[in-house]
Amino acid sequence: MRKLKSLFMRILRSKDGKVLASNFAYLSSLQIASYIFPLISIPYLARVLGVDGLGKISFAAAIIIWIQTIADWGFDMTGARNVAQARDDKKEVSKIFSDIFWSRIFLMFCSFLVLLLLLLIVPKFRENYVIILFTFLYVPGHILFPAWFFLGLERMKYSTILNVISKLIFIVAIFIFIKDKDDYILQPVLVASGYFLSGIIALYFIFVKWKYRLYKPVFRTIIFTIKGSTDVFINTLMPNLYNNLSVLLLGFFGGDTANGIYYAGRKFGQVAYSVLNTLTNVFFPYLSRKREYHSLYAKFNLGVSGLGSLILFVFAPLLIRLFFGEGYGDAIIVLRITAFALLFTNMASVYGQNYLIVLHREKLLRNLTIVASVCGFVIAFPLIYYFSYIGASITYMVSSLLIGVLPMYYALKIKRTTCV
């Protein structure tokens, strides 16, 4: 214990350690805001929009997550890593930014065409086409706000401020514009508005204040950039086979009410994961350069996430009733079943993103994620068909366990054989 404390203090006293501490402070502030804002918005939306309204929002978001994952193509990780490793070369960093920016624009347009086709041929999609199209606005908004770029440069101060601005806009707007159940259609528009404004300000800092350049798109370079991040893309896409697919299947088999219950039960785990993801994001560029400190980071991160899982399990009834109301009582069992998924999904970040990807072992992580995700895909259909939101909760928990334990096993095996 004394050795770990000494090591930790030595890190903090170094120049890199001071940057790390500063970035952690800013991202912690962001995640505190990310925790507080839902405490304000969730009770209001849950009571005004009702279970069905939240179910419709959740269904549309589950569709667009697929589109957004395609547009991201794993660049949030590979882009941040590449910028972190080349950050002293402004020309190279500008090239990395340009290549990724134009690649994401290209992927967004391709995926939008697929979405339009699905809206025409899938009746359930056609019934909800308005909210699905409005929710699609998340995608260009997300592209305009390149959080991965700030992460790679380790300038989290700016990312934090802009994120808080985005969330504040949303919080204020929902109380102004969302007044009854039919206003559920406005929720994605208000979220996207915050993204767009923050994105415009972010681009001002990147191009005007910091003098980075946006080079013209070259189709051959776009294809090369996409190929270079394909393994990480597969790794981020595959969890949708059990995660967002569960929401889609609930929409088809259980309807909006089942989706609303599942949304309520999963929300606290999602918020907790976003808070803990602060550590993952702060340490990713740092560990890309200093891998020897991974074990210290892993012990702290997993200890906190384990405690968080226990808190969610024990206080599930209080959390659901306090923030969603009595009409959401069935969500308590969802939260309890999925509580410890927080530990396992965080384990995947610790040993997957912040170790295997740092070591450029994307292909190994891709294969492990495929195995876990296919297992989740196989069990999702019967479990959700017969047990509705309970089946979706079990699917998520089992898949999260696999997606966390498998990377940990292979990462520890690599550590033992290479001492890296």
3-state SS string for 36-83: HHHHHHHHHHHHHHHHHHHHHHHHHHHHHHHHHHHHHCCHHHHHHHHH
Percentages of the chain per state (helix, strand, coil), in multiples of 5: 90, 0, 10
Please tell me the distance from the alpha carbon of residue 199 to that of residue 196, in angstroms, as a whole number. 5
Of 14 and 201, more confident: 201
| pLDDT for residue 167 | 82
Whether the Cβ atoms of residue 65 and residue 245 lie closer than 8 Å to each other: no
| pLDDT for residue 286 | 74
Measuring CA to CA, which residue among 200, 228, 76 is closest to residue 140? 200
User: pLDDT band for position 8 (50/70/90)?
Assistant: very low
Please tell me the distance from the alpha carbon of residue 372 to that of residue 94, in angstroms, as a whole number. 36
Of 221-235, 328-342, 406-420, which range is least confident?
Answer: 406-420
Mean pLDDT of 262-289: 81
Please tell me the distance from the alpha carbon of residue 309 to that of residue 343, in angstroms, as a whole number. 6
Please tell me the distance from the alpha carbon of residue 384 to that of residue 250, in angstroms, as a whole number. 7
User: pLDDT band for position 387 (50/70/90)?
Assistant: very high
In this model, does residue 326 exceed pLDDT 70?
yes
pLDDT tens per residue, range 64-123: 989 999 999 989 888 988 998 888 899 999 999 999 999 999 999 999 999 999 999 999
pLDDT tens per residue, range 23-81: 666 666 666 666 677 778 888 998 899 989 989 998 999 899 899 999 999 898 889 88
First to last CA, the chain: 21
* pTM for the whole structure: 0.77
Contact partners, residue 406, CB within 8 Å, separation at least 6: 368, 371, 372
